[in-house]
């Protein structure tokens, strides 16, 4: 019976297997750095209005009518999503006590810190994509926030109407 053995010569160099691992580590670090800067607490939050569209009108007619649009029954709920991130949901009702139907309304939500300084200001549309809110009607809405700064005082935010689109507008 014959056996064959292979001996490596000490002068032969093995192909380097470090390069693929090095590239993977560098790519992972770059990804982590990008995610850190994207999700860093306290980073400026950009207002979003119906998918980054222009703000709703808020001229003199809309400003005077804003007193007829009440935001009531505001509640906050914190939960965790499947990525184990804290999600804060603001729920409430928009009530039209005026005499005109509304196609859409925009609210600005301000979260404060212990010194009552604004730590997050966000503007959102609350009636878009639904039938007009007729006089005397109320409609529920929900807004989710994924990134509220840790300096938030955990109290209810200030909510005010900052845009109105009348149903009769074109």
50 touches 126 (CB < 8 A): no
Per-residue pLDDT of the chain (170 residues), as tens digits, is 556 555 555 555 555 555 677 777 777 777 766 666 555 544 444 444 444 568 999 999 999 999 999 999 999 999 988 888 889 999 999 999 999 999 999 999 999 999 999 999 999 999 988 899 999 999 999 999 998 999 999 999 999 999 999 998 55
The predicted pLDDT at position 15 comes to 57
The predicted pLDDT at position 18 comes to 57
The predicted pLDDT at position 7 comes to 54
48 — alpha (psi -120 to 50), left (phi > 0) or beta? beta
Structural domains of the chain, ranges and CATH numbers in brackets: 60-166 (2.60.40.10)
The predicted pLDDT at position 143 comes to 96
The predicted pLDDT at position 23 comes to 74
- Of the CA atoms within 13 Å of residue 92, those in its CB half-sphere come to 24
């Amino acid at each position: 019976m014959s056996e064959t053995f292979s001996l490596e010569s000490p002068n032969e160099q093995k192909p380097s297997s470090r390069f693929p691992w090095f590239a993977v580590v560098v790519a992972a670090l770059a990804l982590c750095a990008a995610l850190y800067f994207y999700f860093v607490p306290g980073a400026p939050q950009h207002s979003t209005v119906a998918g980054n569209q222009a703000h709703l009108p808020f001229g003199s007619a809309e400003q005077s009518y804003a007193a007829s649009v009440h935001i009531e029954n505001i509640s906050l709920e914190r939960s965790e999503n499947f990525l184990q991130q804290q999600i804060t949901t603001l729920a409430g009702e928009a009530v039209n006590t005026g005499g005109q139907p509304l196609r859409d309304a925009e609210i600005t939500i301000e979260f404060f810190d212990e010194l009552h300084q604004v730590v997050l200001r966000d503007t959102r549309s609350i009636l878009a994509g639904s039938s007009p809110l007729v006089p005397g009607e109320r409609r529920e809405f929900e807004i989710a926030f994924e990134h509220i700064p840790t300096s938030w005082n955990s109290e209810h935010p200030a909510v005010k109407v900052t845009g109105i689109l009348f149903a009769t507008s074109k």
